[in-house]
Amino acid sequence: MRCPPERLISTDVALAVERLRAGGLVAIPTETVYGLAADARSPAAVARIFEAKGRPRNHPLIVHLTAGAQPDDWVGGGWVGSVPDGALRLAAACWPGPLTMVLPRGPLVIDAVTGGRSSVGVRVPAHPVTRDLLARFGGALAAPSANRFGRVSPTTARHVVDDLGPHLDPATDLVLDGGPCEVGVESTIVDLTAVPPQVLRAGAITDDEIERLLAAPVAAASGPSRAAGMLASHYAPACRVLPAADLDEAARLLAESRAAGERSRVLDRTADLVVFAQRLYSDLRAADADGLDSIVVVAPPPSGLGHAIRDRLAKASA
Ligand code: TXA
Ligand code: MG
């Protein structure tokens, strides 16, 4: 079913709350990317998230909480009880913001959200519209990024409709428009159930920042794929993504692609990494919309936000 975008996109927060309470899906703006949210306590609503995304059921969802709320019911044994001190410091410093913590799950967490795991990912998003929504809704929202499984995350309401429109019902669901996302890449995920803590996904909050706040070293993710974001191929547009180390390599890759008869172009946003991250997914979507066969992307240096961008480029190109 194709429906015109204006039947799904709205800025009405009260309507979004109504839809969530009735078990509908609401795409929410966050500072990182748009999420596809449902009431985290409703197994039926959460099941619809997996259907709409075409996502395997064993890929756990992040639970989004209200700023300032004591998340005792959502993380194991009471927030101040069995939760490591480090988590409290990270929460105090980074929330609301682009950090997801994996912690032991609390009593309100349902199996549909975690795929039956004993841990849960939680985060407090910073976007003012979604903070308002969470405060009025009163509960918690389970939400993955609002894209079809394996594809590029959405950073505008329009991206959500382009991708998920046919899988949403304008009578029960909504895309809450909060403008373009400020960060542009998904949250940093740190697993505090591992010793030492593991960074499962790079994001705007860097490993160095987390180590400083924990006053302890963190490890790179290891072991069997713990987060879907760790799958080799993910965040991929339809066209091939060719990362280049510098402009010379970019020119060579472009020439090769064109010589092979491909429609291709170079993307270089290394002058400003904040803008690079903000626009990355729009740029990749634009490459598809323009019918390119490949896009050559000049990679940022491996420091700060550069780590997260390089990670997404590697996954988009795998
Ligand atoms: O910025 C973000 O994190 C966005 C916005 C909407 O909040 N959300 C997002 O969700 O990127 P998603 O589902 O696309 O990616 C979350 C990742 C998945 O790879 C999932 O496997 C992992 O987090 N994850 C969630 N809970 C987990 C858990 N308990 N243990 C390990 N990984 C977990
Ligand atoms: Mg995702």
Q: What is the 3-state secondary structure (H, E, C) of the chain?
A: CCCCHHHCEECCHHHHHHHHHCCCCEEECCCCCCEEEEECCCHHHHHHHHHHHCCCCCCCCEEECCCCCCHHHCECCCCCCCCCHHHHHHHHHHCCCCEEEEEEECCCCCHHHHCCCCEEEEECCCCHHHHHHHHHHCCCEEECECCCCCECCCCCHHHHHHHHHHHCCCCCCEEECCCCCCCCCCCEEEECCCCCCEEEECCCCCHHHHHHHHCCCCEECCCCCCCHHHCCCCCECCCEEEEECCHHHHHHHHHHHHHCCCCEEEECCCCCHHHHHHHHHHHHHHHHHCCCCEEEEECCCCCCHHHHHHHHHHHHHC
Pocket perturbation via mutation, ligand 1, pick of 58, 62, 130, 186 by most ligand atoms within 8 A of CB = 62
pLDDT at 30: 98
CB 90 within 8 A of CB 214: yes
Q: What are phi and psi of 60, to 5 degrees?
A: -65, 155
Q: Which two tokens stand for residue 276?
A: 């690079």
Pocket perturbation via mutation, ligand 1, pick of 74, 127, 145 by most ligand atoms within 8 A of CB = 145
Per-residue pLDDT of the chain (318 residues; tens, 9 = 90+): 556 777 999 999 999 999 999 999 999 999 999 999 999 999 999 999 999 999 999 999 999 999 876 677 899 865 555 667 889 899 999 999 999 999 999 999 999 999 999 999 999 999 999 999 999 999 899 999 999 998 999 999 999 999 999 999 999 999 999 999 999 999 999 999 988 999 999 999 999 999 999 999 999 876 554 554 455 567 789 999 999 999 999 999 999 999 999 999 999 999 999 999 999 999 999 999 999 999 999 999 999 999 999 999 999 998
The CB of 182 under 6 Å from ligand 1? The reply is no
pLDDT at 225: 46
The CB of 165 under 6 Å from ligand 1? The reply is no
CB 199 within 8 A of CB 221: yes
Please name the residue whose Cα sits nearest to atom 7 of ligand 1.
Answer: 35
The CB of 193 under 6 Å from ligand 1? The reply is no
Q: How far away, in angstroms, is 144 Cα from ligand 1 center? A: 6
pLDDT at 220: 83
The CB of 148 under 6 Å from ligand 1? The reply is no
pLDDT at 195: 87
Please state the atom number of ligand 1 nearest to the C-alpha of residue 32: 1
Query: What is the pTM (predicted TM-score) of this model?
Result: 0.95
The CB of 62 under 6 Å from ligand 1? The reply is yes
